Amino acid sequence: MLINKYVSQTETYSVLDIDGNLINASYKVPLSNEQIKNSYFVMKLSRIMDEKMLKMQRQGRILTFPPNFGEEGLQVATALSMDKEDWFAPAFRSATIYIHQGVPIWQIMLVWKGNEMGNKLPENLNFLPFNIPIASQYSHAAGIGMTLRYQNKPNVAYTFIGDGGTAEGEFYEAMNFASIRGSQTVFCINNNQWAISTPTAKETGQPCIASKAIAAGIAYIKVDGNDLFASYEAAVAARQYVIENKKPILVEFMTYRKGPHTTSDNPRIYRTEEYEKEQEKKDPIDRLEKYMLKNGIINQEDIAAIEAKIDSHLDEAYKIMVEKTNVSIDEIFDYTYKTLDESLLEQKEEAKRIFGGK
């Protein structure tokens, strides 16, 4: 793969149009039909999970949570590029990557039910929990990437941030630190064009957010995040670049946040219906589905069967989540740090006295 095809380009790299056609007929799709079908399944699973969770939140059955609507393609593409020994420091809107890499659905639901046991991830994954503070995950990934460099490991640390988060000081500080230290980090931006109610044009004076990498002295890529194939190519190229050059890179995925920022947000207050309909023409699931139908990879009966399978899967996940909702005092404290210091031990004993050790 020619890294220079992608690196430090301000144009948005894309290979699939909004009607599911390859822009260049001679383009060789980088994924097998089986990988494409599995990617489609995960993207649909994430979308339907969010739809069901949104209803559950409105019914008071779970707490506030951030849907991944519209960003499923770029997340699956990034997950496909990962090695099993790579690390991931997520933002709070990263559930699709979790699903692709095998985190049980009930655990994701449990997090947004308010139970931290949902963050006790499978031991075979080098994943940090969902990061709620804006931009601190960039510092985490910079540090992990530096450690990988010192250990001389052929792996990287991935991290994501929203376009609004790129206005945070920690965004720049983490990239600058990583650049100086040669941190093996792939910094990603899911530019969904809205930081809650603030459009990108009012967040930054630089329309190409990816080019902010120049200030940190690192390379960058700008890619269509609603195009699974282009996003996968970019993610693979970014990982390869970091490993070969022992330098970090910044990848800006151009996408669109279809739904609310979180369930406490109402986007219709600041976005018109006409604007939303125009943006939704770029939907990553619709584009991939059109491509698959046109190329005989899937048919309408297959789609119906996939949706039925997903519904059953999600119903079972919800039942497990409900069973695991209750926690003990020990569980609240014991997974905060590897070992508890004296002050935390005192707090735990006090909590047991107050709540009867439950």
Q: Which helix (H) or strand (E) holds 251?
A: strand 249-254
Pick the catalytic residue: 27, 150, 270, 275?
A: 270
3-state secondary structure of 143: helix
Residues sharing a CB contact under 8 Å with residue 34, sequence separation 6 or more, in sequence order: none
CA distance 323 to 321: 5
Bridge partner residues of 101 (DSSP): none
Quick check: is 257 catalytic?
Answer: yes
CA distance 230 to 95: 21
Residues sharing a CB contact under 8 Å with residue 151, sequence separation 6 or more, in sequence order: none
Please choose, from the candidates 113, 52, 53, 108, the residue with its C-alpha nearest in 3D space to the C-alpha of residue 75: 108
Q: Residue for token digits 């707090």?
A: 347
CA distance 33 to 283: 20
Q: In what order do the strands lie in the sheet with 87-89?
A: 126-127, 87-89, 157-162, 185-191, 249-254, 219-224
Q: Are 72 and 47 in contact (CB under 8 A)?
A: yes
How many CA atoms are closer than 13 Å to the CA of 212, on its beta-carbon side? 25
Q: Residue for token digits 């990034």?
A: 78
Distance of CA 244 to the CA centre of its chain: 24
Pick the catalytic residue: 93, 181, 257, 287?
A: 257
CA distance 99 to 93: 12
Backbone Cα Rg of the chain: 21
Which tokens go with 307? Answer: 């949706």
Pick the catalytic residue: 239, 261, 287, 291?
A: 261
Residues forming the active site: 257, 261, 270
